[in-house]
Chain A
Amino acid sequence: MFKNSILRNVFLSHAACDASHIKKLFFFLLIFQAFAFDTRAQSITGTVKNNNGEAIEGVSVVIKNSSTGTSTGANGQFSITVKNRGDTLVFTYVGFETKEVAARPGSPVSVVLNPNTVTGNEVIVVGYGTQSKRNVTGSVSKADLARTENLPNTNITQAIRGSVAGVQVVDNGRPGESGSILIRGPRSLSASNNPLIVLDGIIFGGNLADVNPNDILSMDILKDASASAIYGSRAANGVILITSKKGMTEKPTIRINAFKGISDWAYKVKLFDAARYAQSKLDWREQSGLVADPAKITDYLTVTEADNYKNGISHNPWDMASQQGKISSYDISVSGRSKATNYYLSAGLVDEKGLIYNDNQKRTSLRANLDNNVTDWLNIGMNATFVRRDLSGVSAALGDAYTNSPYGVWFYPDGEPTQYIVPEDQAYGNPVRPSLLTTNEEISSNLFSNFYAKIDIPFIKGLSYRVNYSPNIRWNHSYNFFRQDKHLPNNTTTASKMNYESFDWVVENILTYKRQIGKDHNIDVTLLYGRNHSKYESTTASAAQLSSDALGYNSLALGSILTNISTAEAFEGISSMARVNYRFRDKYLLTLTARRDGSSVFAENNKYATFPSGSLAWIVSDESFMEKIKFIDLLKLRVSYGSVGNQAINPYQSLGLSNTTQYVFGDGGGTSVGVFPSSMENSNLKWETTNTLNAGLDFTLFGGRLSGTIEAYNSTTKDLLVRRTIPTLTGYSSIFTNIGETNNKGLEISLNSINIQIKNFEWNTTVVFSNNKNKIVHLYGSDINGDGKEDDDLSNSWFIGQPITSYYDYVFDGIYQEGDDIPAGSKPGFVRLKDLNGDKKIDAKDRTIVGSGGQPKYRFGITNNFKYKNITLSVFLNGMQGWISNFPLLNTAVSPNAPGRGLNQLDAGYWTKENKSTTRPSLVYNNPLRHDWYMSKNFVRIQDVSLGYDFSKSMITKFRLQNLRVFLSAKNLYTFTDWLGSDPEVGATSSSDFYPMPRAITVGINVGF
């Protein structure tokens, strides 16, 4: 009864602001007092050993749900004072499973900790708190960061790539790029599909590249509605909870982690090389009906190209636009804990040079986590991180490199870059000219912090209140100065300064109550009320035709054309949440959650939405009838159902907005500012809601040798937030709106197996597999054509019953060969399209769904770890299968990549009279119907291989070291794929995005004092 009232009170507090409910709140809070226990302090002693019977020093021993704790001494012994009879001691140590033991004063406690190679009783971060994995009822995956400890990751997305079931990570390998994460496939058509990132309990608004992976203790991924509903409003795409490190031992621990590596191109997009380029010009001439005499090739090339051809000079543009990839990372941390204080301080430095010229990042990161018990009932602390990323330097233009002739001239004799490498054909510039002529300073800074206070409310055991205040300030600037090109007569100087600043804050009030009632009942209630705010502003000032280039971008007033742009946006949110975890006899587990959120981004009357969820779990293996089945250690069944919302759209989308433009009247006149409507209002814009049914089975078998999780889910998303294409007759080409319904069904399997475990050798394997099938269920509910089925939306390429990313196009049906019945307008070497309706002509009616993409049908990751004595070897394979993508660059002859000009293009082969390809058209096929080209994105990748050596204790104690580990690792060793772009997983289809995936070899060292 009290539960419901409290919920109602919290939920309605923003709506009904009368005084009467304050009284109610008082009343119900006071009820908690009734459960208060009498207290009496007692001392408990004991020892902690590992599974080999060796004492472990530095194990953290904490009284559960309190901040009281100690750590074990050199012989594994500890002593701690407990106040309450029902208290539980929690033993944690890095690399070992956490263990909970009931505090029974009397004889000494003997605790054995097992290494946590097998998921056992880990602590899982579940949002606004932690839970023993055993007691979790929702779908939560823990990312195994132990696997990635020895890998040269500079970004947390790299650390979980391919290793968590149902999670797809795309990291394009560029320095300073954040990568993206997709949990259980895309739900939304055009709102963001990025999961919510929660860093140390606070929603993180920055760039994932701002997080130093070395500071991260764990990442927990909430996948089903029940688990993520506590973050209801923003949780539709799943939640990733990142927890940074804390002090674990009383003795300060100093850790140094350093690595250095080099990288090269894992794959180079194949362009015509010099010989094939020349041949392609001849073939193109022949196919165009021009004279094509190989002896006169120099006449057919531009004069510039011909000179180089005659002199045997040619360039591979990728080589010209690249640099040696390098990475070095240095990281130091100090952590520890005393009775009152727990601290973790770290500093890191990463210096990365990407493979593309000037594509660099330098990152400096600092972190301070402090936690202090002021009194036995008051705990305050802060987590703060400051990151500065320096991305200065304009990187070489890949789109330009892609199109550049192998016979071009890149530099003048004086070393200055040319403007165009083939000056006769000025379609694309010299890829490195902007890099060389521009002085660029681009720095982004992020100060993210959380200040909190936690009060254990006296007299009511288990009741505590926590307040978080989390300010986040981010400021970036990008300054550019393009200097005078000494070879051009006109003034080429331009300069600009962009300054961006954003400030977000979150305030949260969290009330938790944990109680064991009698022997059988455990209850755990969390109530939350919070507000969040974010605002950004930016200003860009530009100057062109500077009268002096002495001051670079520092004095824009020197410009003769000055322009200024500035903008700002703000966002507000209000949230309240209640969660109840209930355990009966530790076998039957129930979680109920409800969250109500308000977000400013929606239309006037749709700001709020409520998201309830519930889940049940049953630990089958604890039933008496299971006792006979010895090989089962743990068997847990889970089922959950609930809803979460999505608000991942930019502010102001429900409003009709206007934009500005400029015009100049009269000769010699000044600028006139114009305004025009730029977006259609949508007064109905509302929350997107996803309902998910999730069933899971967790098991541990054969004494921990085999464990895993199998999960199936079915989720339906209603009122999808979409940017929908609408007729331009309305004046707008698209609008943000809610429509229809999509469905995601999937299966996820994670298996951990200790295959061999003998004296000096261990081999274990982790397999994750997931598949996700997504389809559109409803769109607009109209049936205009009267076929009894809901109509599709051709212009958006959305079809009922088909995946969200479906390709609707003409069907490729081979290449017309000489002697075929060829229609007017086509000729041998042109693409034959299928006449689907058999009306003897190819028109819009011959289009159909040719395939789907966006996400693979299934994904898998296999990690094999081998350990022989002190040597460890880890091999990780990552694969995705069952998806295609369009790839427009397979077109042979569409301007501006006309093969008749001094421009290069993709070498995917082409039809000639001699080589009658059945898959590739001739060089003059102009694709009048503008059909697209498609390619499989399937791949299997040897993602990470890492070899490590741990120096034995006896060797390193001489140097007073706690551990010393050296490692050698390789990243992206080889990818098996037919994809012709730079990388199938990243899937870029535009030449300007063809950043190479680096294949990196790294050596590193881990030292602990």
Chain B
Amino acid sequence: MKSLKKNALHKSIIVFACLILAMGCDKDVLKETPLGSLSSEVVLTTKAGFETYLIGLHQAAREEMTMDDQTYIMNFIGTDIASAAGVEFVFYKDYNSYLNPATREVVNIWNWAYSQMILRANTVITYANKPDAATIWATEKEKNAVIAEARFFRGYTYNLLANLYGGAPIVDSIFSSPKTDFVRSTRQQVYEFAKEDLAFASQWLPATVPKASEGRIVKAAADHLLSEVYISLGDYDKSIASANLVINSGLYHLMTDRFGSRKDLSGDVYSDLFQDGNQNRSSGNFESIYIWQFEAFTAGGGGSQGGNSQIRQWGPFLSKVKDPAGISMIVTDSLGRGTGPIRGTNYYLYDIWTTDWSNDIRNSDFNMRRKYYYNNSASAAYFGKIVEPKTDPEDTMRNIYAYPKKVEGKPWNNINTSGRTVKDVTVFRLAETYLLRAEAYFRKGDLSNAATDVNIIRSRAKASAVAPANVTLDYILDERARELITEEPRRRTLTRMGKLVERVRKYSLLATTKSTIQNKHEFFPIPQTAIDANLNAKLDQNTGY
């Protein structure tokens, strides 16, 4: 009896001891290996891994437009070409109260630049250059092509930051612990840094990519942007040389004949450039250099806010327009749903066209929507009739006005109320390369060559030639407005050239904008959130803010 009990005791002690030991001895039990998450260490060990990170960069780059509905539009609103004139809009109406270190896009663009573009680019560059990554690459060329694409995006972003904010902190590495003592480099240093990136990119990027890869960065994109950066650095010869690399590559030419998806329908060659499906090079568009890709009904085919939002931003709020019987117009697929925050100035809608109003094809009915027809079949009396001139400022400032037809396209996922389209967005196009070269020639004092370049663009548009003596920076800006409206981020062009304040005072649609803009507004302020977070060093605010 006694021994039996003792036995049970011993047994239970042994069981307990064994349980403890069985469970306690695995030292690796607490080591974490993520089950559903990747990491750079895991992915950036093969060429295919680097490829996925480059795709991540392309996605981030397109977010410049699609991150939300209110950031990209600041490239146009409150400049010489457009205002948010609708009565409830506040954007840049009163520069003094609107533009400050808390303004939404001031913060958004900064955060997008550093936490998406520059981080992703730096990660690729850092990992590709690691000594233990050497075995990944078959050749130095293969490695450099990967780095080149990342450096293109980094250069693109730093150039954008320098254009908008002036000097900015240069971040060229990745961090594994918080850093709170960043300081700003000068604008010049940022341009220099961008130049280095783009020069490397120019050296190693491919000249063309296969049809299935369209949208990927080609050498000409780097050269095109270098041409701009060299102007900012004051090195006009190098700017011209970079532009020449694109123009003389034999790969690009201005389109002079009808092409693409609607070439047999009424239109002109300029309108062909902006038809659905006509942006990529394989459509026959040889001006195409860098295009943001959109694809309906496909995962990854749109950004955070869906497709191309140009129609939503440039299109007037037509559904608020009533016919004399009091019946509203309706949203249709041909017009799309505009909300009217980007209302063209008189400068853009009328003044710059006056000399060639009817011969410049960019002002033709195919390219500029100036006429509207009542489209609600519920209105027996007015359906199909042309909309008479409106006088109520609510209509003329927001609900109905002229806009470039470039922004129209097939509705996103067939939803015409989305205010978005599936149309690819042109970021760089050869016409701009010519205008950059023209600017470089002009700044160098070579008015003749400047005029020649401008006239190449004008002659394709069937507009009259400009005389060399009449070429000025302002004229080049006029021509950019005519040729590149909606494509060039106008605010950045103006701030790059130091022309924003001057031209807003001259051309803004709104008296309050003209009177409230001050010299400090040439640059965006540094976001207050960035200054607040940088605890251990002072991130200087731009003068005046």
Contacts and interface: CB of A to CB of B under 8 A. Distances in A.
- Say if A and B assemble together: yes
Interface of A: 10, 13-14, 17, 22, 25-26, 29-30, 33, 288-290, 302-303, 306, 377, 419, 423-424, 426, 455, 457-460, 465, 467, 489-491, 507, 509, 511, 529-531, 535, 537, 544-545, 560-561, 563, 566-570, 572-574, 598-601, 604, 607, 651-652, 654-677, 680-684, 724-733, 735, 737, 780, 782, 784, 791, 793-795, 824-826, 843-844, 893, 895, 898-901, 926, 928-930
B179 interface: yes
A600 B326 CA distance: 68
Interface in B33-83: 34-43, 49, 52-60, 62
Interface in B390-427: 393-394, 411, 413-417, 424
B288 to A, nearest CB: 12
A566 B295 CA distance: 24
Contacts of B295: 664, 667-669
B24 interface: yes
A843 B211 CA distance: 52
B8 A826 contact: no
B298 A288 contact: no
B235 interface: no
13 contacts: A507-B19, A568-B35, A568-B36, A656-B39, A661-B59, A680-B177, A724-B178, A727-B179, A731-B115, A784-B535, A795-B532, A844-B101, A899-B88
Contacts of A570: 35
B213 A665 contact: yes
A419 B331 CA distance: 14
A664 B300 contact: yes
Given A535-B35, A728-B111, A794-B532, 4 more contacts: A660-B52, A661-B56, A666-B215, A729-B530
Contacts of B241: none
Interface stretch (B168-176, B353-361, B440-448): B168-176
A900 B174 contact: no
B53 A666 contact: no
Given A465-B12, A566-B36, A675-B56, A731 B174 contact: yes
Nearest to A924: B88
A655 B530 contact: no
A727 B29 CA distance: 35
Given A26-B17, A652-B37, A669-B295, A681 B176 contact: yes
B56 A674 contact: yes
Contact of B87 (A290, A666, A670): A290
Given A676-B60, A727-B179, A825-B97, A658 B39 contact: yes
Interface residues of B, number: 118
Contacts of B24: 13-14, 17, 529, 574
Contacts of B529: 728, 795
Contacts of A567: 35-37
A455 B529 CA distance: 61
A655 B38 CA distance: 10
A826 B528 CA distance: 21
B268 to A, nearest CB: 22
A725 B40 contact: no
A735 B178 contact: yes
Contacts of A662: 55, 59, 299-300
A187 B122 CA distance: 37
A377 B12 CA distance: 11
User: What 5 A-B pairs have minimum CB-CB distances, sorted nearest first?
Assistant: A662-B300, A731-B119, A674-B55, A825-B97, A14-B24
Contacts of A460: 9
A930 B301 CA distance: 34
B30 interface: yes
Contact of A826 (B97, B214, B545): B97
Interface in B77-105: 87-90, 94, 96-98, 100-103
B130 to A, nearest CB: 15
B350 interface: no
B469 interface: no
Given A460-B9, A900-B88, A665 B215 contact: yes
Interface stretch (B187-195, B248-256, B277-285): B277-285
A665 B216 CA distance: 7
Contact of A29 (B13, B55, B415, B531): B13
B176 A683 contact: yes
A888 to B, nearest CB: 14
Task: Please classify the interface of chain B as helix (H, G, I), strand (E, B), loop, or mixed, using the class held by over half of its residues.
Answer: helix
Contacts of B52: 660, 673-675
Interface string B180-209: 101000000000000000000000000000
B56 A667 contact: no
A784 B29 CA distance: 42
Contacts of B88: 288, 893, 895, 898-901
B516 A732 contact: no
B301 to A, nearest CB: 5
Given A598-B30, A795-B532, A825 B55 contact: no
Contacts of B103: 928
Contacts of A489: 414
B21 interface: yes
Contacts of B531: 844
B293 A664 contact: yes
B81 to A, nearest CB: 22
B30 A677 contact: no
Contact of B38 (A544, A658, A682, A930): A658
Contacts of B90: 895, 926, 928
Interface in B107-164: 110-111, 114-116, 118-120, 122-123
A929 B13 contact: no
A670 B120 CA distance: 23
Contacts of A930: 102
B331 to A, nearest CB: 8
B32 interface: yes
B96 A290 contact: no
Contact of A795 (B34, B89, B533): B533
Interface in B308-341: 319-320, 322, 326-328, 337
A561 B110 contact: no
A189 B327 CA distance: 56
Contact of B97 (A303, A668, A926): A926
Given A511-B16, A675-B38, A661 B300 contact: yes
A90 to B, nearest CB: 25
A213 to B, nearest CB: 34
A726 B180 contact: yes
B536 interface: yes
B23 A507 contact: yes
Given A529-B24, A661-B56, A726 B178 contact: yes
A728 B328 contact: no
Contact of A656 (B25, B40, B118, B214): B40
Given A424-B320, A572-B29, A728-B110, A663 B55 contact: yes
Contacts of A507: 19, 23
Contacts of B59: 661-663, 674, 676
Contacts of A26: 13, 17
Contacts of B5: 458-459
Interface string B487-515: 00000000000000000000000000000
Nearest to A567: B36
A457 B6 CA distance: 9
Contact of A727 (B118, B415, B416, B530): B530
Query: Which among A654, A656, A661, A930 has the greatest number of chain B C-beta atoms within 10 A?
Result: A661
A465 B19 CA distance: 12
Given A671-B300, A676-B56, A729 B114 contact: yes
Contacts of B530: 727-729
A731 to B, nearest CB: 3
A670 B298 contact: yes
B475 interface: no
A648 B63 CA distance: 34
Query: Which among B20, B31, B327 has the greatest number of chain A C-beta atoms within 10 A?
Result: B20
B534 interface: yes
